[in-house]
Structure 1
Amino acid sequence: GSGGGNEEIMNYENVISARQTLHDHLMWQAGLAGFNDEEMASVTILISYVDDDGYIKVPLEQIAEEEGLEILDLEEIIPFIHEFDPPGVGARNLKECLLVQAKHLEEDTNDLVQLINEHLKDLEKKNYPAIAKAMGLEMEDVIEMCKIIYSMDPKPGRAYLPQDTHFITPDVYVYKVGDEYMVALNEDGLPRLRISNLYKNVLKGGAANGANPEAQEYIQDKLRSALWLIKSIAQRQRTIYKVTESIVRHQRDFFDKGPAFIKPMILRDIANDIGMHESTVSRVTTNKYVHTPRGIFELKYFFNSGINKTDGDSLASESVKLKIKQLVGEEDPKNPLSDQKIVELLKKEGIKIARRTVAKYRDVLKILPSSKRKKYF
């Protein structure tokens, strides 16, 4: 699968990059803030409730009750934590987080504070005209303030999260040699399995050496299991090899020209090609990665349904998604493309697709609807 790698090396690297945690950073600041012992006890407890995002989500009443403290003491301490770095830390919700960051700013922030306090919903919807109207301000002033808010960090604690890098070890490689593609299995990640000579000798010597017949039977049984395991791993490797070869044959255009040229292909296409069950193909392509000249892909990536084109050909859903991504990437941010407009543009390229399908692909691609993509600046 996608694990593998040299354990010792990996662990050593993890130790090297251990960064200061958010709690360490906050406790360090608390130590310099000149609190008395009693205050320090409350600060320490509050800091222990700060989550990975930098928020204190547990209600103060609950903290006071669980820790046997006075709620008033906690309420007095919270503003001090709000002075700590990173700005916004110790907030109870998004609004408070933004307000705390606004207080850290140099300039006069009355309007900004009012905007955060009263118009957060409109801000989330990017409904700037409504904010301007409600606050009796010019549109450009509202937009300036919104720019400031967008530059704030809604999750101030995130900068202190350990960076967990997951390395993918490919199970199979595809190389281009001349005009052909060669498939090679990655044998490194596999355990080297063989039967111990000790047991073979016990079986060979057998009764002649006075071996216990029950022990012999037991070893014989385990030997069969071990041989079966070795055989089935080899069998699975052969299947991965055959499946990859078949994928390369079916998706030649992808390998030659890139992701936009991926073809519609279902499990049955490969299963029929190599004479195996679809369920087998499905099993060996899940969580198995192939290293290709085009990058590393999960084998499952190559299977996708088709969208019929007006000229009778069919196009892989992956390449339709790619086209949608491209169209949105090239749109005018002040006048983003609606889903209907995308349908019309795709139709011009001979791709017939329903609006709800565009919306579905957009969601998969994590692209916001056009109303939320509109940029005023």
Structure 2
Amino acid sequence: MKQSLQLKLSQQLTLTPQLQQSIRLLQLSTVELQQEIEQFLLQNPMLERADEYETKRPATSSNIEPPHSQHDQPTEPLEHSNDHHKDEHTDTPLEFDYSGEWGNGGGGNRDEDEDFDPHGRLYHEPTLREHLLSQLAEHVLSARDRAIVTLLIEALNEQGYLEDGLDSLAAELSGELATEADELLGELQVGLSLLQQFEPAGVGARNLHESMRLQLQAQPPSSIRNLALEISQQHLNLLANRDFSRLRKLTGQDDNALKAAQQLIASLNPYPAAGFGGEETRYVAADIVVQKHGATWVARLNSAAMPRLRVNSLYANLLKQQRESGNALNGQLQEARWLVRNIRQRFDTILRVAEAIVIRQQAFFEYGEEAMLPLVLREIAEELGLHESTISRVTSQKFLLCPRGLFELKYFFGSGLETDSGESCSATAIKARLKKLIQAEDPKKPLSDNTLAELLSREGIQVARRTVAKYREALHLPPANQRKAL
């Protein structure tokens, strides 16, 4: 076989480290970005926060200027970014500061006590285990009884239920405690009886029926409480199916008593441990603030979420004087400049996308959900000259604050349905209208999905019954038979 050399031309897209960092920063939320910046500040001495005590005019409600329009300051798309800022080899360090506000750190009245721990002032939400153990400490018990109740507390699941039966626990521990299983079972039953008297009511139950019984028994005695106990323990399925005619026959009670018992049962907590040991609170920072200027709603960047970063001028000048190309600090200087530029570009891109969204959804900010227009990522991408994947990154985990509340940018996108007038109606608007129809219905005769579809068609919105059911489920609204009330 004869060997030969051949030339072949091909195109290949290469992501530079700077572009990879730009894409990564773009998809981070504001909280995640702040954490990322803290890591960079710890690892790179060339990067620092801008002096918080520079002489700058504080941004107040009277001097905040509206954001510059994208037509006044064009920003390059993320995919085709041509950096028009200072050159990498310039003598002037780069600085990124969108805020223009006075900082709240770096000095002032600081506690000079070396033993002062700022974390000690943070509120600690007790876990279910801690809450129950604190109540156990108030009881005078023998060491063995205290150990048994502690064991039961440790055996509770996240919802406050005792999943493992007492028989299995007794069989498992009898060998370790050198006690007969029957004797240990009796001790566990006594310990569980004590545990089930603790707060929150219903904790230590082995199933939903027992939890409801414990919660009802913890309330003051009354005829309604007794009726609720009977229904929850014997006729819960009939109540769930809203079969009030059979409930009337089986309990011998009238509609008023059944309605009161139903409300009492609905007030019970199916998860006794709710509020204890839950997921960590997820904090959200608004990236965009929308305000009304005249007759137009305008988007601007939230200055409170803007980091103030710059390249350390002292180190940059020292490196320039040394002119050592092999110095490791040169690489860190380059990384610091990239980070400042990429963060600046991140917020510029977010602002451009937010401005385009706000322009298209003016009716929503003025009138609410029912005025939301259908919008897809492709429309914004074509308008701004960006790729749809970039718009997807920008709208994910980025939040907009307006007088109507806090919304993720993705909230403003959705498909639409054609109306009789030839216009499109967004899915958000249909859901809002559907929710209003259900809220206004007669609870004794709730509207079926077919009836809801007919009502919407009279308003010019042609929607199938299965679509109504899908939207209703998305709103976490039960079907008609489960919405029926006395």
Report what 1:88 is aligned to.
202
- Which is richer in helix? 1
Q: CA 1:222–1:34 in 2, change beyond 3 Å: closer, same or farther?
A: closer
Q: Paired residues, what number?
A: 367
**Secondary structure at 1:356's aligned position in 2?**
helix
**Mapping for residues 74-113 of structure 1, pairs under 5 Å:** 74-104=188-218, 105-107=220-222, 113=229
Q: 1:77-136 CA distances to partner (integer Å, 9 max, x unpaired)?
A: 222222333332211110111222344452477765554333333233232334445x36
Q: 1:165-192 CA distances to partner (integer Å, 9 max, x unpaired)?
A: 5443211222222233333212432433
> How far apart in 2 are the matches of 1:304 and 1:365?
15
Pick aligned residue for 1:156 from 252, 257, 272? 272
User: Offset at 1:16?
Assistant: 5.5
Contact 2:196 2:204 in 1 (8 A): yes
Report what 1:297 is aligned to.
407
Report what 1:72 is aligned to.
186
Contact 1:43 1:77 in 2 (8 A): yes
Are positions 1:36 and 2:142 aligned together?
Answer: yes
The amino acid that maps onto 1:357 is T
Pick aligned residue for 1:272 from 379, 382, 387? 382
Are positions 1:285 and 2:395 aligned together?
Answer: yes
Are positions 1:168 and 2:284 aligned together?
Answer: yes
Contact 2:30 2:305 in 1 (8 A): no
Are positions 1:362 and 2:472 aligned together?
Answer: yes
User: Offset at 1:360?
Assistant: 0.8
Are positions 1:196 and 2:312 aligned together?
Answer: yes
Report what 2:252 is aligned to.
137
Q: Percent identity?
A: 35
> How far apart in 2 are the matches of 1:223 and 1:361?
53
Are positions 1:54 and 2:54 aligned together?
Answer: no
> How far apart in 1 are the matches of 2:371 and 2:119?
39
More moved, 63-72 vs 248-257? 63-72
Report what 1:335 is aligned to.
445
More moved, 33-42 vs 91-100? 33-42
Structure 2 residue ranges without an equivalent (≥5): 1-28, 36-103, 107-116, 178-183
TM-score (norm 1): 0.84
**Secondary structure at 1:194's aligned position in 2?**
strand
More moved, 359-368 vs 79-88? 79-88
Pick aligned residue for 1:248 from 358, 363, 373? 358
Are positions 1:347 and 2:464 aligned together?
Answer: no
> How far apart in 2 are the matches of 1:120 and 1:110?
14
Pick aligned residue for 1:126 from 219, 242, 261? 242
> How far apart in 2 are the matches of 1:261 and 1:132?
45
Task: Considering Cα pairs closer than 8 Å and 6+ residues apart, tell me whether 1 or 2 has the greater RCO.
Answer: 2
The amino acid that maps onto 2:212 is L
Contact 1:19 1:162 in 2 (8 A): no
> How far apart in 1 are the matches of 2:158 and 2:120?
19
Structure 1 residue ranges without an equivalent (≥5): none
> How far apart in 2 are the matches of 1:89 and 1:7?
45
Q: CA 1:261–1:12 in 2, change beyond 3 Å: closer, same or farther?
A: farther
Are positions 1:214 and 2:326 aligned together?
Answer: yes
Q: CA 1:21–1:341 in 2, change beyond 3 Å: closer, same or farther?
A: same
> How far apart in 2 are the matches of 1:36 and 1:205?
77
